[in-house]
Amino acid sequence: MLIKTVVFLAVFAAVFFIFKVLYPYVDGILRHWQVKRIEKITPRLNGMFLDVPLKKLMLIDVLTPLGCGLIGYIVTKNLLFALAGGAAGLAAPYMVVRRLEAIRRQKFAGQLVDGLLVLSSSLKAGMSLLQAFEVLIEEMPAPIAQEFSLVVRQMQMGASLEDALQNFKKRMRVDDLDMMITAIMVAKETGGNLPDIFSQVSNTIRERNKLIGRVNALCVQGKLQGMIMLIIPIGFGLFVYKFVNPHFFDIFLNDKFGRMLLAYTAVSYILGVFFIRKFSRIDI
């Protein structure tokens, strides 16, 4: 008994000493890695005019994988699913930011027609293009007012109209905005009637949106099939594992041929979902 106690204390002391020596090094690596992740997200949040404190971002970056891993373990009681949940939690902040950017671009695209009409009316009233931008900022909501305010701010700080609009195009990446900026550049070079050009561009965008709506309505069936194909196998597997027989899929995990079939199924499943969504998406 005394020998076991001594051995336990020696092992505990050795582990504690190793942890104490390695902790600063490991902690430095983890903090550096986390800072790199935050540095990739912060500019994108700033581009959406979202001011999130750094401490809050770091806390979210830590808690998200831990929470997802814990949920995966509670639901499945399996360490493998817990690790998969943690990995999903690491990717979750990037996915959320991408989704927020997509929603913001979509909202901006929906406001662009009204914005062009405001610009056209302001120019017809005798204002300059910069003054028309300022009127749009006052009358239109975010995000279009935020983006045009940044254009005006850059021009007031000495940037040329071309540079400010090119930066605008890089930030938003909206096809309709490219059309508007191209019209402004062409009108500036050739001396065209910019109010009439804005009216024509707004009509073109409106007709294009109608066509996109019709095409999307025709593609609903394919998108729905892709969603059903994505949900049913995962839902069936979780239902069987949780409520029917937790060992039902053991042959896929323990047998070599079963693992090969499982890998083939997963690859086929992903490719099927990808191609269904790819074929049901039509760019106009």
Residue 167, pLDDT above cutoff 70: yes
Q: Give 20 or 119, the one with higher predicted confidence.
A: 119
Supply the pLDDT for residue 12.
47
Q: In which band, very low, low, confident or very high, does the pLDDT at 149 lie, cut at 50, 70 and 90?
A: very high
The share of the chain scoring above pLDDT 70, in percent, equals 86
DSSP 186-214: HHHHHT--HHHHHHHHHHHHHHHHHHHHH
Contacts of 243 (CB under 8 A, 6+ apart): none
Q: In which band, very low, low, confident or very high, does the pLDDT at 262 lie, cut at 50, 70 and 90?
A: confident
Supply the pLDDT for residue 19.
47
CA distances for 276 relative to 37, 214, 215, 219, 267, angstroms: 32, 19, 16, 10, 14
Q: Give 48 or 21, the one with higher predicted confidence.
A: 48
Supply the pLDDT for residue 230.
74
Q: Please say whether the beta carbons of 49 and 143 come within 8 A.
A: yes
Q: Where are the domains of the chain?
A: 23-100, 110-195, 219-279
H helix intervals, 240-255 = 250-254
- For range 74-86, the mean pLDDT: 76
Q: For the chain, what is the mean pLDDT?
A: 79
pTM of the model: 0.68
The closest alpha carbon to 212, from 112, 113, 281, belongs to 281
Q: Give 70 or 218, the one with higher predicted confidence.
A: 70
The least confident of 68-72, 97-101, 148-152, 218-222 is 218-222
87-118 CB burial, b ≥16 within 10 A, e <16 = ebbeebbeeebeeebeebbeebbebbbebbeb
- For range 123-134, the mean pLDDT: 87
